Amino acid sequence: MTNATTSTDSGIVQLTISPRIRRSPFYAATVRDGVSHFTVYNKMLMPLSFGHLSAEYQRLMHGVAMWDVAVERQVEVSGPDAHALVQALSARDLSTMQVGQGKYVAMCDHSGRLLNDPVLLKLSDRYWFSLADSDMLMWVRAVAAERGFAVDVCEPDVSPLAIQGPKAEALAVKLFGERVRAIKYFGCIETDLQGIPLVLCRSGWSKQGGFELFLRDGSRGDALWEMVKAAGQEFGIGPGAPNHIERVESGLLSWGGDTTPDTNPFEANMAKFVDVDCAADYIGKAALQKIAAQGPARLMVGLRLDGQAPSDWPLIERAPVLLDGRQVGTMSAVVFSPALQCTIGIAQVQREVVQAGQRVQVVTPIGLQGAVTQALPFI
């Protein structure tokens, strides 16, 4: 870790907790295990690091890490019109979605702007939008009421704990038995661990494989954390957090990090998750059809920088991307990649600049740097 000071220049400040900023059911456990940095996500404290960024990355790439991702809040939809509401809110054909399946969906407004990019889970009697960092409870309730749907919409007491990395499956087998091997990507089952009610899903915000244990009783957070930690000892488990380096290498979208309030899913490289020709008339469909026909104004690309990463921590502000001295985009994330042994970033650039191999310049906090565009993901 560099620059672990209280200077605002490094993006590290002290934060005062109050009832507006919610704590996770795993909060006490993460404090015991030495959490060093939090961010705020869905108005809740989210661990970012336990003080050893490099070790946390290595554990994710080669072992197994456990992450408090309770901030991935659920909006739950149940009742007779649950499917109709969930489909109206999702820019993806859900007509064949089965109980026990999950799907990555774009939730858009009427102009096709990306409001959130959740994982949608279909349980036996309800749906969960497992959310990124925006206030979707208000949107879902508003649409339900405006359309007169017979549904219940709430934020349930559900808090995901992720296990991620190549040894996560062995740990899941130890905890839940051989049946977990049959769970497909984004597949989920309703189960329990010694009486602690859970949904187990093959998911997580990394490309290293793993599961998320959706805790359905916040009073059992400490017990679940300790149980997973104890079972994981033989695999070298340790605490971590959604990893900034790995997510850039893997090109995973950070809503609000890589997007602005005006970004549409095509600009966020979500085209393959958007069904513009499906029968369902979801919110934003007409606008998305138009954008699909014209092509989006911007695209998200990778950058390979000539120089160093400005810091190990997320950028405080997006960095301007220049072509011939003219701004053609912004860079929203930059890291030194241990896997590629160079500095890489994620940028949103005007479509005409997107050809792979285009040389640009980036105004980084440590000076102007040359960079080359390439398609995402890097790895």
Binding region for ligand THG (CB under 6 A): 72, 104, 117-119, 130-132, 160, 203-205, 212, 252-253
The residue among 149 and 378 lying less far from ligand THG, judged by its C-beta, is 378
CB of 224 to ligand THG, least distance (A): 16
Q: Which is nearer to ligand THG, 205 or 282 (CB)?
A: 205
State the nearest-atom distance from the C-beta of 333 to ligand THG, in Å.
Answer: 14
3-state class percentages of the chain: helix first, strand second, coil last, to nearest 5: 25, 30, 45
In the bound complex, what is the minimum distance in angstroms from residue 102's beta carbon to ligand THG? 8
Q: Smallest distance, Å, CB 214 to ligand THG?
A: 7
For 17, list phi and psi in degrees, rounded to 5: -85, 140
Q: Which of 232, 240, 257, 204 is nearest to 53 (CA)?
A: 240
Residue 355's identity, in one-letter code, is Q
- Name residues whose C-beta falls within 8 Å of residue 205's C-beta, 6 or more positions apart in sequence: 69, 162, 164, 242, 247, 252
Bridge partners, 122 (sequence order): 127
What radius of gyration, in Å, describes the C-alpha atoms of the chain?
Answer: 21
Q: Which of 97, 360 has the CB closer to ligand THG?
A: 97
**Cβ atoms within 10 Å, residue 207:** 16
Whose Cβ is closer to ligand THG: residue 163's or residue 252's? 252
- Helix axes 82-89 and 136-146, enclosed angle (nearest 10): 120
Smaller CB distance to ligand THG: residue 153 or 360? 153
Let me know how long the chain is.
379
Q: Which two tokens stand for residue 38?
A: 């939090």
Smallest gap, in angstroms, from Cβ of residue 118 to ligand THG?
A: 5
Give the nearer residue to ligand THG in terms of CB position, either 273 or 358: 273
C-alpha–C-alpha distance, residues 140 and 149, integer Å: 11
CB of 375 to ligand THG, least distance (A): 13
Q: Distance (Å, rounded) from C-alpha 277 to C-alpha 4?
A: 50
How many CB atoms within 10 Å of residue 198?
Answer: 24
What distance lies between CA 286 and its chain's CA centroid?
A: 27
Least gap, CB of 338 to ligand THG (angstroms): 20
Output 263 or 311, the one with its CB closest to ligand THG: 263
- Say if residues 118 and 76 touch (Cβ distance below 8 Å): no
* Closer residue to ligand THG, CB minimum distance, 261 or 370: 261
Vertex 64: Cα angle to 63 and 67 (nearest 5): 150
As a whole number of angstroms, the distance between CA 149 and CA 152 comes to 9
**Residue (79 or 187) nearer to ligand THG, CB:** 187
